[in-house]
Chains A and B, each alone.
Chain A
Amino acid sequence: GNSVTQMEGPVTLSEEAFLTINCTYTATGYPSLFWYVQYPGEGLQLLLKATKADDKGSNKGFEATYRKETTSFHLEKGSVQVSDSAVYFCALGDASTLGRLYFGRGTQLTVWP
């Protein structure tokens, strides 16, 4: 079946530090992969996506590369800011499971000035 496993949090970093949040997946088909971000008190927003192997999604300085060989989609940012403090969710969408997204449990990121 389909599932997503992401790094347990919370993650605490100083401003300008390098960020990695690990995400691995299992899928029966050819999934698309997503990272969503949830700021305090808000709903989830799409951060970036990749639809096929070796695609790199990027947005707001965040990047993630779809690695089929390692079934991974790790989120990275070279220099985090206080405003990046949020909960990050890795998710998988598979065309064979119509209308469904499979989410990881979320990773809380706190960035200190």
Chain B
Amino acid sequence: EAQVTQNPRYLITVTGKKLTVTCSQNMNHEYMSWYRQDPGLGLRQIYYSMNVEVTDKGDVPEGYKVSRKEKRNFPLILESPSPNQTSLYFCASMRGSNQPQHFGDGTRLSIL
């Protein structure tokens, strides 16, 4: 089954404790993205990747890092999380530019 898998689905942690949210897709897609969803703001893109070792900033990259060492994986790293990063995060992949994106089920992060 074609899917995008994120882990964990839920995480409560404290300010400053580094965390990583993993994302994996099994569709051999070139493009992958991370979004955060906040009430009243919709989805905002954090980072995106066009291929292995090729990433670029989206609209709200501050406080986040990503890496794309393998085509299937695109982890999101919060080196020093802060409460304003409490949000619902989605990973997505797509076959090519201008194509529909496939989304994971989301990761709800709470930073205390």
The residues of B with any CB-CB pair to A shorter than 8 Å are 4, 31-33, 35, 40-45, 48-50, 56, 58, 90, 92, 94, 97-106
Taking residues whose C-beta sits less than 8 angstroms from the other chain, chain A's interface range is 20 to 34
Chain A proximity of B35: nearest CB distance (Å): 8
Chain B proximity of A104: nearest CB distance (Å): 6
Q: Could you tell me the distance between the alpha carbons of A45 and B106 in the complex, rounded to whole angstroms?
A: 12
Whether A99 and B48, one on each chain, are in contact in the complex, defined by CB atoms closer than 8 angstroms, is yes
Whether B42 and A32, one on each chain, are in contact in the complex, defined by CB atoms closer than 8 angstroms, is no
Interface SS of B by simple majority: strand
Excluding A34-B100, A99-B97, 12 further A-B contacts by CB distance (< 8 Å) are A42-B106, A44-B103, A46-B101, A93-B98, A95-B97, A97-B97, A98-B31, A99-B48, A99-B94, A100-B48, A101-B92, A106-B43
Chain B proximity of A85: nearest CB distance (Å): 17
Whether A43 and B103, one on each chain, are in contact in the complex, defined by CB atoms closer than 8 angstroms, is yes
Whether A43 contacts B42 in the complex (CB less than 8 A), given A51-B98, A99-B48, comes out as no
